[in-house]
Amino acid sequence: MIKKISKHTTGLKGNIKIPADKSISHRSVMFTSLAKGKSLIKNFSKGEDPHSTLRIFKQLGVEAEFLDEKTLTINSKGTLHKPQDNLDCGNSGTTMRLMSGILATQNFTSTMIGDESLSKRPMRRVIEPLSLMGANIQSTDGHAPLIITGSNLQPINYTSKLASAQVKSCILLAGLNTEGLTSVTEPYISRNHTELMLKYMGANISVEGNTVSIEKSELEPRTIEICGDISSAAYFIVAGLIVPNSDIILKNIGLNETRTGILDVVKMMGANIEILDKQTISGEETGDIRIKTSELKGCKISGDIIPRLIDELPVIAVLATQADGETIVKDAGDLRNKESDRITATVTELKKLGADIEELEDGFVIHGKSILKGGCEVNTYHDHRLAMSLYVAGLIAQKEIAINDFEWASISFPEFETLFNSLM
């Protein structure tokens, strides 16, 4: 167990490059492994979760080699082979849910396992639509391990109750290898990295409103350059806004509109934030973000913006403690199904620091502006996003805080503390 001390600081200044987007890193390995030929992936994430995906594809017979620590070649025959052992997804829900769609159409049986945290997360949300397509998936009451016996599936026109990129992507990946037209309709549009990358690689895919449709397609090998992860950038955006006398620039951040809910929210709260040098790389919009310390006001966060910032809500709660007035977060009940119950965990730990925050069934209410006193220990619940959010809270607390089990932050963002230190 690593106990990390976070303490009051002032004047975050400088330019930093945020590490690669994890969502795009996962998909880059998956999709190039399904393409026949050699692909090049630039700026691959160092996070443990995308590396779980990479290890699985090696087990499935795909050749992968790092040219340097961030540049990866994928050489695939376009077909996957039966693994000799269980496929270990580690802590990665993205790996398990998206791989379910891929494995359901293969001509072999495979078993996916995960760590203790992942084994508690709900998998019925992907098992049910795949089963409607004819997939054979065994689970333990809707949880991992998942035993998948691949077969020829039937196309489906599926209406999802959840706006979930993982559910949508799982079904599209099954449809990629299924004769006929497979469609997914969501209540709101979730992140669309799958759609953009599949189109970039030549898939027969179309989008109309909240519905995405795909036909059986052969993907073409490509060079994929991965931009910086806006979910990782969120901690620096919030810190730059609430730490006194700060002025920072985050370089080459993904600005995909299905992921930039946090930018919309902080602008609504009055943030001094500027987007610089916009461009499109490998089908994704990117740019630099400049952030300065700002006077903020509370706001309401609900409805169709929630899927565009679901992972950022714990650190947005930290931000809201420093905004004048009331901030209400609703329609975010799926936060309870993450690495931890992020609603209860966020409320419990921020209260320890002195925040005026109350729990709702589907979110929370924060009354600002609060003085975060610190001088205590807080817990991460084995949740990397909570760990990093609490670190940011510690930067403005009156007394230092001790964050238990901080090692979980390295799962998604091993460079996190080094980058913060470079701005101090």
User: Which of 311, 334, 383, 405 does the annotation list as catalytic?
Assistant: 311
Which amino acid makes up residue 192?
N
Distance CA 123, CA 167 (A): 10
Check pLDDT > 80 for residue 99.
Answer: yes
In DSSP terms, 211 is beta-bridged to 185, 208
Residue 410: the pLDDT is 75
| Helix or strand holding residue 101 (H, E) | helix 93-103
312 — pLDDT class (breaks 50, 70, 90): very high
Which tokens is 253 given? 């951040």
Check pLDDT > 90 for residue 246.
Answer: yes
% the chain with pLDDT above 90 = 89
In the predicted model, what is the mean pLDDT of residues 233-240?
A: 98
DSSP3 helix / strand / coil % (the chain, rounded to 5):
35, 30, 35
In the predicted model, what is the mean pLDDT of residues 110-119?
A: 95
Q: Is residue 68 flagged as an active site residue?
A: no
One DSSP character per residue, 172-219 reads HHHHTTSSSEEEEE-SS----HHHHHHHHTT--EEEETTEEEEE----
One DSSP character per residue, 344-404 reads HHHHHHHHHHT-EEEEETTEEEEEE-------SEE--TT-HHHHHHHHHHHTT-SS-EEET
Residue 163: the pLDDT is 87
128 — pLDDT class (breaks 50, 70, 90): very high
Residue 212: the pLDDT is 98
Distance CA 217, CA 202 (A): 8
| Spatial CA neighbour of 49 closest among 117, 109, 110 | 117
Q: Any idea what DSSP says for residue 267?
A: H
In the predicted model, what is the mean pLDDT of residues 277-281?
A: 91
Check pLDDT > 80 for residue 151.
Answer: yes
| Spatial CA neighbour of 299 closest among 317, 275, 315, 312 | 317
Which tokens is 420 given? 């913060």
| Helix or strand holding residue 99 (H, E) | helix 93-103
Which amino acid makes up residue 163?
A
Q: Is 234 helix (H, G, I), strand (E, B) or coil?
A: helix
Which tokens is 306 given? 């929630």
3 — pLDDT class (breaks 50, 70, 90): confident
In the predicted model, what is the mean pLDDT of residues 297-314?
A: 93
Q: Any idea what DSSP says for residue 228?
A: B
Check pLDDT > 90 for residue 339.
Answer: no
Residue 307: the pLDDT is 86
Measured in degrees and rounded to the nearest 5, phi and psi for residue 36 equal: -85, 115
Number of Cβ within 10 Å of residue 149's Cβ equals: 15
Check pLDDT > 90 for residue 340.
Answer: no
Q: In this predicted model, what pLDDT tens digit does every residue of 203-227 receive, in sequence order? A: 999 999 999 999 999 999 999 999 9
322 — pLDDT class (breaks 50, 70, 90): very high
Measured in degrees and rounded to the nearest 5, phi and psi for residue 232 equal: -75, -35
Q: What counts of helices (H) and strands (E) characterise the chain?
A: 13, 24
Distance CA 365, CA 384 (A): 22
In the predicted model, what is the mean pLDDT of residues 132-149?
A: 97
Evaluate the omega torsion of the peptide bond into residue 145 and state whether it is cis, within 30 degrees of 0: yes
Q: In this predicted model, what pLDDT tens digit does every residue of 37-50 receive, in sequence order? A: 999 999 999 888 99
Kindly report the average pLDDT of the chain as a whole number. Answer: 95
Check pLDDT > 80 for residue 36.
Answer: yes
Say which residues have a Cβ less than 8 Å from residue 124's Cβ, sequence separation at least 6.
Answer: 139, 142
5 — pLDDT class (breaks 50, 70, 90): confident
Number of Cβ within 10 Å of residue 284's Cβ equals: 22
Residue 6: the pLDDT is 86
Residue 305: the pLDDT is 92
Which tokens is 418 given? 């080094």
